[in-house]
Amino acid sequence: MMKHSFLLVLCVALSSAGAQWTPQPSGTDAEFRGLVALSPTVVWASGTRNRVARTTDGGQTWKIDTIVTGSTLDMRAIAAFTATTAWALSAGPAEQGQAQIFHTDDGVRWNKQFETSAKGVFLDALAFWDKDHGIALSDPVAGQLFVLATNDGGKTWARLSATGATAVLPGEAAFAASGTCLTLQGTSNVWIGTGGGPRARVFHSSDRGRTWSVADTPIHAGNAAAGIFSVAFSDAQHGVAVGGEYSKPKQAFDNVAVTSDGGRTWRLARGPLPPGYMSAVAYVPQTEGKSLVAVGLAGTATSSDGGESWTMVDTIAYNSIAFASRSDGWAAGPKGRIAKWTPTPRPARP
């Protein structure tokens, strides 16, 4: 009875936004943070205890794989191109053997492509422009961004030289909360959102990480738990950054910033803002950059005006969100939670 009541409350809460989260049983209680939706049928997720989840039927069924047996790696980010080709990134101190990247080309067998024990490395996110060219991000090392790149589908990874504005502020780093502190666009654009330092900033490269610029944002910062947690772009110019303070997930802060010049400048969204911490944000496809959905420990927020104003539509905790189409999106989070974004019919006008 309790399970049915939960589903009813969740569906009713979201119906006012023109959509609702429909929970899907994942078959695990691992905490998910990595998430990518390739199509209305193919979705990948990754999480704690080496777990990777995959569906090829739109979430009706999920297959759970363990990348490495006998280990407790935390797969914080995942990238994929097909139902069988994917990369997963393990977050954690490299000195403890936790900084690793794995690849599968059959959806079953995973091979380690990268590992380092270099002090200070803590992998946060990875993404691919195409099947050959990808990028991965670590916490800064020796006061500089630590960015890895591959040009051969991950067979080899190499750290990019520190060129341009790669120096970080004291305490500044990226958050491995959803795999979306790093986002790509087009064939060469990459942005990185940071926090943990005195200011929340966004780094940008238009040449796949070879050179960088950086811009301040008005998002709440100033301590190790605050800053930008997710960045998304609808095109090369228009983007949004969300965050807050994860140690105070339901406290209101300046937590949404927008840009219309490719990230050169950022301003606070007009509001109202989500009244809590947001760990991931995504544009809804086929909405001309107008509709967005953000999730976090505080719940789900939606925007229909390009990220300027937001409405909270539930209080269920999620870490990650991804859309494959206007009507096919997924969220993932604690305790194996996975849900699908299901549009609801709007009432007919009289």
Closest listed residue to residue 202, CA positions, set 225, 177, 168: 168
Q: Tokens 């007919």 appear where?
A: 348
Q: Across residues 12-32, what is the average pLDDT?
A: 76
Stated length of the chain:
350
Q: What pLDDT is stored for residue 70 in this prediction?
A: 67
pLDDT tens-digit series, residues 321-335: 999 999 999 999 999
Decide if pLDDT at 160 tops 70.
yes
Whole-prediction pTM value? Answer: 0.93
Q: What pLDDT is stored for residue 14 in this prediction?
A: 43
Q: Which residue has the higher pLDDT, 344 or 203?
A: 203
Task: Determine how many CB atoms are found less than 10 A away from the CB of residue 350.
Answer: 3
Q: What pLDDT is stored for residue 304 in this prediction?
A: 97
CA 346 – CA 303 distance, rounded (Å): 17
Contact 25, 52 (CB under 8 A): no
CA 215 – CA 218 distance, rounded (Å): 10
Q: Residue 18 — very low, low, confident or very high, per pLDDT cuts 50/70/90? A: low
CA angle 327, 315, 41 (to 5 degrees): 25
Contact 62, 37 (CB under 8 A): no
Q: Give me the architecture of the 22-343 domain, per CATH.
A: 7 Propeller (2.130)
Number of alpha carbons in the 13 Å side-chain half-sphere of residue 73: 29
Decide if pLDDT at 105 tops 70.
yes
Of the listed ranges 18-32, 75-89, 325-339, the one predicted with least confidence: 18-32
Q: What pLDDT is stored for residue 69 in this prediction?
A: 75
